[in-house]
Amino acid sequence: MRRINWVTAVFLIVTPVLALSWGSLHVALAGVSALDVSIFLLYLAATNMSITAGYHRLFAHRAYECRRVVKVFYLLFGAATFQHSVLTWASDHRRHHQHIDREGDPYNIGRGFLWAHMGWLLFNDHKPERFSNIPDLTADPWVRLQHRFYLPIAVMMGFGLPLAVGVAIGHPWGCLLWAGVIRTVVGHHSTFLVNSLAHTLGKRPYTLTVSARDSVVTALLTFGEGYHNFHHRFAADYRNGVRRYHWDPTKWLIRGMAAMGWAWNLRRAPRERIVAAQIQCDTQRSLEKMKGASEQAFAHVRERMNEIAAAVQRSATRLGGLEREFADLRSTLGSAPRHRMSCLRAELRAARREFREARRRWCVVLAELQAQPLPQLA
């Protein structure tokens, strides 16, 4: 029989009740201050992105490296979210990736939406806390320090700092309410949605073997963590939203820090690997639709798909190689030969046109297959 984790359970129940009751009373008596809301939004961004860019992409997945001051910022403001220390958080998250949707996954969506969302936090699993899967983090003295003093850091940064800021600007209770209590509740459920909604709502364009899904709705609610199918296929990539237009403010933050020299070694999955994953999923879905068709029809469609898929893969490999060469030359800070840079730009333009045309042909084949009734294939 499972034992309830009373400290966590009480905190997760009391904070939303307090936010709703105190918030309603405060709004009725004092109204909504633009200053309080502004501080709430700033503090929500600082704390939640310390989870997404810090706890998740830096510590759990080592997707990039950064300066010590950035790391300390993540440790302080990440603690303010009341989501445990980096050691605990990252250890759970790596187990999630290792055992996704199976026994051993701490927030297995197979046990239900509510379990994945927050139910798993409410019970003790009767096992000692183990950090054997995070030796790189246990070797970090700053991470160990945060773990040792996690509770006082969390209280000081989560409630003490908002109150201190409020005292300084003459809005002590408003700041404590909005940047402290309400921000904690909103931050909790924003993060929890990555474990629940991101495994329920959306599409699976990169892998069909796991429940994780890509959804712009989830991305908007989670500071860019909603492109979860991509993330589970390419977990070490510093991006979740791989396309330029994908809503992923965490990606933009990391990229901005890299431009300032505060972050480096940003890990990216090669374009050709991403395209190969998409083609594999498209092919699997399309051939699944053909179950029941004759062997001749199946072989004909499979041959045509393989031919065009190979062309897409060749163009993606060429484009990816040129993009990496161009990025390497540009990183030489002006010492690259001007003639070579000019030639590379022309090659890149041609490679992009070739890739777009190959992808267009691939999409046409998929559309034709979807539109053609199965009896005509049989």
- Amino acid letter, residue 60: A
Which residue's entry shows tokens 């029809």?
Answer: 297
- Cα–Cα distance for residue pair 229/250, rounded to 1 Å: 17
State yes or no: pLDDT of 377 exceeds 80.
no
- Cα–Cα distance for residue pair 276/233, rounded to 1 Å: 11
What is the per-residue pLDDT across 1-35, written as a single tens digit (0 to 9) for each? 578 899 999 999 999 999 999 999 999 998 888 99
Taking residues 127-141, report their average pLDDT: 87
pLDDT at residue 164, as a whole number = 97
Taking residues 78-97, report their average pLDDT: 97
Q: Are 197 and 215 in contact (CB under 8 A)?
A: yes
Q: Could you tell me where the DSSP H helices lie in 212-263?
A: 216-221, 228-233, 249-259
Higher pLDDT, 18 or 372: 18
pLDDT at residue 237, as a whole number = 97
Taking residues 179-206, report their average pLDDT: 97
Least confident stretch, 168-177, 236-245, 279-288: 279-288
Cα dihedral 52, 54, 60, 64 sign: positive
- Amino acid letter, residue 162: P
Q: What does the mean pLDDT of the chain come to?
A: 91
- Cα–Cα distance for residue pair 160/183, rounded to 1 Å: 13
What is the per-residue pLDDT across 139-158, written as a single tens digit (0 to 9) for each? 999 999 999 999 999 999 99
What is the per-residue pLDDT across 99-117, written as a single tens digit (0 to 9) for each? 999 999 999 999 999 999 9
Q: Are 322 and 347 in contact (CB under 8 A)?
A: yes
